[in-house]
Amino acid sequence: MNVTIGDKIVYRVVNKSAGRMFQKVLSGKLPESTVSSLTNEIWEEYKKRLPYLEERETPGASLVVRLSLLTLILYEKLTAENIEKQEAIKLTSEITWKVYNKLSGIFWAFTKFKAKNPIKRLEKVMNFCINRFPYNSPGYEMEIIKADDNEFFFNVHKCPSAEFFREHQLSELCSCTWCDLDYSLAVKWNIELEREKSLAGGDSMCTFRFRAKKERNSS
C-alpha cells in the first residue's frame, strides 16, 4: 500500500494544526525540541508502516484505519518518551479529539440547513455516513434501530478501527481515543448518548443510543 492522494489530504488537514495541537497539549510534558519535531516524525513513521497496512473494502474504512495508525504512532511516540501508559492514552485522546472534532464538524455544519432538532440533524449525518461515506458497507456493518424526533438508535457490528487496535492488542487505546470521543461529540451536539456494549470492549457490537436532552424544571 503506497502513499495516496488521500494520505496526503489527511496529512495536510492534520499537519496544518498539528504543531499547535502538540504545543498546547504537550508543552511542559516533553522537551520543546521533541514537540516541534513530532509532526514530521509521526509522518515518516506512518510512511514506513503504510505498505504493511491491510487494504480495506471501502475508501471510508481505509481512511479510518489510516487515522487509527496515526493515533497508534502518536501513542507509541509518547510512551517512548517515558510517559506513563495511562497518561499517554489521556494525551493521545486529547489530541485525537481535536482532529475528530474538526472532521465531524464538517458533516454537522451541512445539516443546519435541513433540520433544527439535534436528533434529526444527527439522523441526517448518520444516514449520509452509513449510506455513502465513511461508514458505508462492507467496510462497516451498521444497522439503524430507531429514528424519531427524540431518539436515534443504531448498532455497529463491524468497525475497522476496533479491529485495527485489537490486532495491536491496544483495545483500551481504541476505547479512550476513538470510542469515548463519541460522548464528547454528543455533549457538543447537545444530545445524550448511552452505550452499553462496544466492540473495543470485547462485545459483539457497539450499541449507540442517542436521545434528546430532557428539559429540566426550573422549580
Range 5-212 has CATH code 3.30.1380: yes
- 104, β-bridge pairs: none
Confidence at 90, pLDDT banded by 50, 70, 90: very high
User: 147-157 pLDDT, tens per residue?
Assistant: 999 999 999 99
pTM: 0.89
User: 8-56 pLDDT, tens per residue?
Assistant: 666 666 666 677 889 999 999 999 999 999 988 998 999 899 889 988 9
Q: Where are the domains of the chain?
A: 5-212
Phi-psi region of 205 (alpha: psi -120 to 50; beta: other; left: phi over 0): beta
- Give the β-pairing of 151-158 and 191-194: unpaired
CA–CA dist 134, 57 (Å, integer): 11
